[in-house]
């Protein structure tokens, strides 16, 4: 395994530049020298980018991010026409296109991928409980849908294909994690399957994105608005990796810039204790019991998990990250 650098203060610069740029599994720390400002312009200028699941938390954030360095075209591919309409009204950019479609439909993907240079595959059924109770649907979207994206990328000769994965794919114990682990295998194998060195498939694997759709922070925020006096905690031993969306976007930027095909990019992230998160909210908590398929600690790699991670955020540091979300 390749471990680079020591843990650094939790900043977007760390996520943005902390890459080894080599094949295999890359663990990220702080670089000695950052890339020069403006290097990303060379990556996106004149390029057509497509994001599957483009109206989700990541796709929306990445689309807003591109306003500072617009590509030739950005295609938002998703099933939800209402979210597309809302995003279109918010962005109001002539270089953004909106394509309604489902990754289960390979023919629709192939049509959408025409003349695309970069595909970021973020579409998935991500809710743990939904996947647990609808495993066949999870497999059709997360596994077969990913194979459909791979096939469309190869047929349309997309030069850079980046898959957004999750720490739940490592040592999976739930349907969601199993489906993402299988999708990772398919994605990396696609480098051989394509039989074309001009088409590169790589992966970004990271942990919980603070404040993203369905994550604990917005759930607790809604409960507080409803007047709850105690926050629900499944197990007080629970830990999670902690990643801000602005850092995710920068991390994906740099992964696209450095990918060679066959890479699994993994950021060096801090962990948080769920009870410390409750303290940062300023509320007491009550134990409600662990959900089916839920882990006490998440793993980013086989020897890198949120429980043994030497880098934990304090309650005060968590409060600072919450300011960036709220």
Task: Report, as residue numbers or ranges, the catalytic residues.
Answer: 168
By the 8 A CB rule, do 306 and 240 touch?
A: yes
Residue 167's Cβ-count burial label (10 Å; 0-12, 13-18, 19+) is buried
Read off the DSSP letter of residue 83: H
User: Which two three-digit tokens encode residue 78?
Assistant: 């998703």
Distances (CA, A) of 173 to 25, 42, 291, 295, 299: 21, 41, 12, 8, 12
Angle between helices 57-65 and 81-91 (to 10 degrees): 20
By the 8 A CB rule, do 265 and 243 touch?
A: no
Residue 272: strand, helix, or coil:
strand
Distance CA 162, CA 121 (A): 6
Distance CA 289, CA 158 (A): 45
By the 8 A CB rule, do 275 and 233 touch?
A: yes
């Amino acid at each position: 395994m390749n471990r680079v650098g020591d843990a650094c203060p939790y900043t977007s610069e760390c996520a943005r530049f902390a890459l080894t740029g080599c094949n295999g599994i890359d663990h990220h720390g702080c670089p000695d020298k950052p890339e020069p400002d403006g290097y990303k312009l060379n990556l996106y200028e004149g390029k057509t980018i497509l994001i599957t699941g483009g109206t989700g938390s990541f796709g929306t954030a990445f689309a807003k991010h591109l306003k500072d360095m617009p590509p030739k075209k950005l295609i938002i591919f998703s099933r939800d026409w209402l979210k597309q309409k809302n995003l279109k009204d918010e962005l109001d950019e002539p270089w953004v296109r909106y394509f309604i479609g489902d990754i289960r439909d390979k023919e629709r993907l192939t049509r959408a991928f025409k003349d695309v240079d970069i595909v970021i595959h973020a579409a998935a059924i991500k809710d743990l409980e939904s996947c647990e109770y609808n495993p066949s649907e999870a497999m059709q979207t997360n596994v077969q849908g990913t194979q459909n994206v791979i096939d469309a990328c190869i047929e349309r000769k997309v030069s850079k294909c980046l898959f957004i994965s999750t720490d739940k794919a490592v040592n999976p114990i739930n349907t969601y994690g199993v489906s993402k682990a299988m999708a990772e295998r398919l994605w990396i194998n696609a480098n051989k399957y394509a039989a074309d060195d001009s088409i590169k498939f790589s992966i970004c694997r990271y942990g919980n994105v603070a404040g993203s759709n369905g994550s604990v922070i917005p759930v607790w925020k809604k409960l507080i608005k409803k007047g709850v006096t105690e926050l629900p905690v499944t197990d007080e031993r629970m830990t999670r990796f902690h990643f801000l969306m602005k850092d995710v976007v920068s991390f994906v930027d740099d992964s696209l810039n450095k990918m060679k095909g066959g890479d699994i990019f993994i950021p060096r992230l801090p962990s948080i204790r769920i009870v410390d998160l409750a303290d940062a909210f300023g509320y007491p908590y009550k134990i409600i019991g662990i959900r089916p398929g839920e882990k006490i600690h998440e793993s980013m790699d086989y020897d890198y998990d949120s429980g043994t991670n030497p880098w934990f955020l304090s309650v005060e540091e968590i409060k600072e990250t919450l300011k960036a979300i709220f």
